[in-house]
Homo-oligomer: A and B are copies of this chain.
Amino acid sequence: MSTSFRQDLQLAVNHISVDCVVLGFDGEQLRVLLLKRVGESGGQEFGDMKLPGDLIYTDENLDDAAKRVLHELTGMSNINLLQFKAYGSKDRITKKDMEWLEQTTHQHMERIVTIAYLSLLRISRPLATPPAGNEVHWVGLDEIGTLAFDHNILIRDAIEAVRHRADIDPSYLFNLLPQKFTMLQLRTLYERIYGKAQDVRNFHKKVTQLDYIVALDEREQGVAHRAARLYRFDRKIFRRARR
């Protein structure tokens, strides 16, 4: 809070937003939920993409604002949510972005600090139909072009945050997998997150000696080769083992 050292200097009039990096995994690659944005700049119409987010309301906590954004986007409550960084540099917002904001919110904006959140979502879960004029897409990490604001940077930082979080909490990544998954899916996920190949046998060994990953008697269906065994993550066993 203020140290009262320099009351004479001008204080900023601020807006605060939350932006959500929602990650999914399709069995092959990581994908991010992006919204289509349309606007006008210098008489030219443009269309690009952005992360879901919003300005926070009066009396609304940061975490609650992020929950609200995700609820509006997906129709879900109780989504895992992790605040990972705040972005407040002046040049994170270009003139074009500022114009778009003022067109959209009908407010004068001086400066926007955004608090970035990370959320992992099973990609199979159906999304709510978004309000008219909004298009939501799962976009593969390699297919992301230049996004609005500094959202490319947010996504890069978010991936790093996933890694750190998964190091601390080994259960974290299971938010990205279906309830029943194959070893290949799990291994591919690790390869995508950590960016390096995992040895099949060593990976299999490491995973099977974790008691909270339990083998099912089921196998995958309708594949053009030997069907893989399915596994599930058992949260209760995991919790017990950790205390």
Contacts and interface: CB of A to CB of B under 8 A. Distances in A.
Interface of A: 1-7, 9-17, 19, 35, 50, 52-63, 69, 72, 83, 85-90, 97, 101, 104-107, 110-115, 131, 134, 148-149, 164, 167-168
B58 A10 contact: yes
A112 B12 contact: no
B62 A3 contact: no
A63 to B, nearest CB: 8
A56 B88 contact: yes
Contacts of A62: 86-89, 113
A148 B4 CA distance: 15
B52 A11 contact: no
A57 B11 contact: yes
Nearest to A64: B89
Copies of this chain assembled into the complex: 2
Contact of A1 (B19, B83, B106, B168): B19
Given A7-B105, A7-B106, 15 more contacts: A2-B53, A2-B54, A3-B35, A5-B134, A11-B15, A11-B105, A12-B57, A12-B58, A12-B59, A14-B16, A14-B56, A16-B113, A59-B111, A62-B88, A62-B113
Contacts of A10: 57-58
A101 to B, nearest CB: 6
A54 to B, nearest CB: 5
B107 A11 contact: yes
B61 A88 contact: yes
Interface centre among A11, A63, A90 (most CB of B within 10 A): A11
Given A11-B57, A11-B107, A16-B113, A3 B52 contact: yes
Given A11-B107, A61-B90, A86-B86, A54 B17 contact: no
Contacts of A104: 1-2, 4
A114 B1 CA distance: 8
A132 B168 CA distance: 44
A86 B89 contact: no
A26 B164 CA distance: 30
Contact of A53 (B3, B6, B50): B3
11 contacts: A1-B17, A1-B148, A2-B17, A3-B134, A5-B54, A5-B72, A6-B54, A7-B105, A7-B106, A12-B16, A86-B86
